Structure 1
Amino acid sequence: MATLNSSSFSNSSAPFRCKFNEDFKYILLPTSYGVVFVIGLLLNAIAMYAMLFRIKQWSPNTIYMINLTVCDTLYILTLPFLIYYYADKNVWPFSESFCKLIRFLFYANLYGSILFLSCISLHRFLGVCHPVRSMHWVSPRRARLVSVAVWVIVLVFQAPVLYFSRTRNAGNDLVCHDTTTEELFNHFLVYSTAISVLFFVIPFLVVLVCNGLMVRKLLEPTAVGGATSQRSKKKSVKMIIIVLLTFMLCFLPFHLTRSLYYCFRHLQVSCGLLEGSSIAYKVTRPLASANSCIDPILYFMAGQGFRRSINRKNKKGYRTEKGKSLSTSL
């Protein structure tokens, strides 16, 4: 049960403080992060190996997938520290600088993943809906430039996290804030809202529009290709579904519950409402982490769905070692 600190209303500007029973997160977060660490690290390592050593010619989608895998892997490598932190009941054993770095990497790689998924959706949209024009619009070189731009944008816009993230003494223990200190919270709320709009809402709308138009195009009847064409279309639709599910199940609940929790803190609602929003936010945090396990599935599905295109390239002159299974460039 949430309780209100008696000093909360000592004056109108006093911070709004409620004490929650959050024992559940000391089990939920270490357990879920541990599962994501093991499964995500394994799947991303396999995907990275396949893309780096089995694909001879990198397409734009392959380049985006490599960057997406790097984002996921960097995030996964931060999880052991968070597992230890939450398993030890919010006792941060490291320095404040390391706290800042861990929080920065979490958000940088979260929004990096969202942007690279958006790039993949936009690229596939051009290839499916505008196949002729896209030949002049997209190329591996441009994909590299876009990837560099994405990294620069993410790192620059997430840099304020290094300022907002702080540690706080709680008795003899040190706490690593997931948000920021109370005196900086209003500024952090403005920053967090702007980031959510720029790096989640807008990319989400782009993904919805691109994938919706692709589904409509893929479901159109075609006279050429027969059963093979239908199988390729079904695989493409499955990939679209995975991308949409990643946004709907991993990113959307996290951003909705986090925004609600932040707004309730700012509006100083009752402790009951604040506790409920806090619980919802913490429950959805593992969902945001789970995208690191889902993203490699895109590569594995594409590796099957586009094998025929690789075979056609081989007939034109690309050589592969005899006996090796062929990979694809998404």
Structure 2
Amino acid sequence: CSHENYYDKIENKMLPAFYTVTFIIGLLGNARGMKVLQQKWKRQENINIFVLSLGLANVLYLLTLPFLVVYYFNGRNWIFGDVFCKMTRFCFNVNLYCSIGFLTCISVYRYLAIVHPLRMMGRLTVTRSVLISVLVWLMVSVQSMPDIFFPKRFKDKAQCFHSTSLEKTEDYLTYSLVWTTTGFCIPLLITLSCYGHVTFVLCRRKTIEMTIRQRCFRLMFISSFLFSICYIPYHVFRNLSLFSRIQSKQNICVWWDKHVFTGHQISRGLVCLNSALNPLVYLQMSEHILSYIRQCTSQVSQRFQDLFVYNRHTTAVTQTNVEQLYT
């Protein structure tokens, strides 16, 4: 059940290619995103707090990619020390789950803007957005902290494990399952619920402009594509790969071991692409939210004006009837 040469070939060639492409596209995309964000900061500060946090999480991870490229090009020979190995893996985890967390926050915000536009006005303030962002950072850091205490290197080999050593695989699988549930499954259910309700409202509410409706559907498709391609395969194959390692440790050779390893390496490459694809989501989302809020504000103002005119007309008619009654 040993495929050592096959594993090395995939890991040492495929991952550096993914990381190099992600680093180049991600830096350019996030730099462009930050520039646009700065130009539009005053127009929608509360949602931009989430966008800024998402961008910072992306940049935090992108800066570690050159070290991983060197590591895999050298045949998994880590030359940067044990502490920096754990810091690199920690940055990956923080980026991954902060991205999921902030995309979930943005989906909730989009849900409130479309389904409850009047209730949302004045409630999602900058202060609350900052507090929510800080809470996401803290929760993700707490979730990712136990990973630091798992061994990442062999004493006699200069490696930097993505998960942990073979001796701790059982404990790491348990931690990974809990991590997957709290860091991915729950946010995914919240995001799907928000998008499902938004789709229902967009199909029923005919007052929403067609361009805004089309843009919203496009953004929901992009977000769903991001979750489907980057996040779901990674979590599925990570846990299957850990289970396969436990089987191999017990001298049980499973026929799907080779396929799971291949899928896990591909999913590791795909999940790092979220740092390059996230700017496409939040830049377009900002324009959509602004357009929709402007439309809602215009409709509400028009309704208040119509109500004010109607009340004035009703009062004038009533006063005329009273005068006619007493004359």
**TM category, shorter:** 0.7 to 0.9
Residue-pair matches, total: 293
Does the aligned pair in 2 maintain the 1:164–1:180 contact within 8 Å?
yes
1:21 aligned residue? 6
Residue aligned with 1:281, SS = helix
Q: Distance in 2 between matches of 1:94 and 1:119?
A: 35
Q: Distance in 2 between matches of 1:169 and 1:21?
A: 24
Residue aligned with 1:292, SS = helix
Q: Distance in 1 between matches of 2:145 and 2:39?
A: 33
RMSD: 2.2
* Selected match of 1:51 from 37, 51, 69: 37
1:191 counterpart = 2:211? no
Gaps in structure 2 of 5+ consecutive residues? 299-327
Residue aligned with 1:33, SS = helix
Residue aligned with 2:256, SS = helix
Q: 1:277, CA displacement in angstroms?
A: 1.0
1:101 aligned residue? 87
The 5 A counterparts of 1:220-231 are 220-222=204-206, 224=207, 229-231=209-211
Does the aligned pair in 2 maintain the 1:254–1:288 contact within 8 Å?
yes
Does the aligned pair in 2 maintain the 1:34–1:79 contact within 8 Å?
yes
Q: Distance in 1 between matches of 2:193 and 2:101?
A: 15
Q: 1:53, CA displacement in angstroms?
A: 4.2
Q: 1:305, CA displacement in angstroms?
A: 3.4
Letter in 2 for 1:180: T
Q: 1:221, CA displacement in angstroms?
A: 4.2
2:232 aligned residue? 252
Q: 1:27, CA displacement in angstroms?
A: 1.4
CA offset digits 1:102-128 (Å, max 9, x no partner):
011101110010000000001111111
TM-score when normalising by structure 2: 0.84
Letter in 2 for 1:230: M
CA offset digits 1:147-166 (Å, max 9, x no partner):
00011111112111111142
1:291 counterpart = 2:274? yes
Does the aligned pair in 1 maintain the 2:10–2:265 contact within 8 Å?
no
Letter in 2 for 1:299: Y
1:214 aligned residue? 198
Does the aligned pair in 2 maintain the 1:58–1:140 contact within 8 Å?
no
* Selected match of 1:281 from 257, 264, 268: 264
Does the aligned pair in 2 maintain the 1:26–1:87 contact within 8 Å?
yes
More helix by share: 2
Does the aligned pair in 2 maintain the 1:125–1:211 contact within 8 Å?
yes
Residue aligned with 1:56, SS = helix
Residues 307 and 150 (structure 1), Cα distance of their counterparts in 2 relative to 1, 3 Å cut: closer
Q: Distance in 1 between matches of 2:87 and 2:74?
A: 19
Residues 101 and 175 (structure 1), Cα distance of their counterparts in 2 relative to 1, 3 Å cut: same
Q: 1:265, CA displacement in angstroms?
A: 2.1
Residue aligned with 2:158, SS = strand
Aligned-residue identity in percent: 30
2:303 aligned residue? none
Does the aligned pair in 1 maintain the 2:110–2:289 contact within 8 Å?
no
Residue aligned with 2:41, SS = coil
Letter in 1 for 2:190: V
Gaps in structure 1 of 5+ consecutive residues? 4-17, 316-330
TM-score when normalising by structure 1: 0.83
Q: 1:208, CA displacement in angstroms?
A: 0.8
Q: 1:169, CA displacement in angstroms?
A: 4.1
Once the two structures are overlaid, the 10-residue window that deviates more, 248-257 or 20-29, is 20-29
2:68 aligned residue? 82
Letter in 2 for 1:248: S
Does the aligned pair in 1 maintain the 2:166–2:245 contact within 8 Å?
no
2:27 aligned residue? 41
Does the aligned pair in 2 maintain the 1:99–1:165 contact within 8 Å?
no
